[in-house]
Amino acid sequence: MQTLSWMPPRSTPLRKAPNVRLIGLDPGLNHTGWGVLETSGNRLTGIAAGIVSPPKDDNLAVRLASLFAGLERVLETYKPEAAAVEETFVNANPKAALVLGQARGVVLLAPARMGISVTPYSANTVKKTVTGNGHAGKDQVAAMVRLLVPNLANSLDVTKDAADALAVAICHAQHSGTASVWNRAQQKISATH
């Protein structure tokens, strides 16, 4: 009778995960929130957060151009490698929904024009990722952002829009990290077959 023995594979030293800088964006025509994080494995480091606020008295085209220019400055300053944008929900007011959709188009365009990959996330996905509850309120989301990125979220400069953008960035960090692990596992499985 033959005895089969199993030996665990030789352990290899863990490679340090590369730092990845990403930006979360929360679209709005009055205030677009942005939050920049750096990830290293499952570690998050807040880099900066703020809002871009186009002048309210200008016509729509000028406001959209101002939003684009403000986002370009943020992207050029912080040089993220990836962007995540919160999807907008359908508003009861069709005119407001159309204007918000136009602002979201500008928010999607700014990083894409700089060659930065853009990933959309629904508001429920962001909330569920950050708080564990897809229907969490803004205060719950802000509280978790303060816990996860205390160096930025406790700053007096971080508005609710910027905190929402940080939540989008946290969501992307979590989902892209999971996808990366999943892809590596699938590559290993494919290589053995």
Q: List the catalytic residues.
A: 26, 86, 161
Of 150, 29, 33, 140, the residue nearest 84 (C-alpha): 33
Instruction: Say if CB 149 and CB 44 are below 8 A apart.
Output: yes
Q: In what order do the strands lie in the sheet with 43-52?
A: 43-52, 32-40, 20-26, 82-86, 117-121
Q: CA–CA separation, 22 vs 44, rounded Å?
A: 10
Contact partners, residue 50, CB within 8 Å, separation at least 6: 33, 34, 74, 157, 158, 159, 162
Count H helices, E strands: the chain? 6, 5
At residue 112's C-alpha, the angle toward residues 106 and 117, to 5°, is 130
Report the chain's C-alpha Rg in angstroms: 20
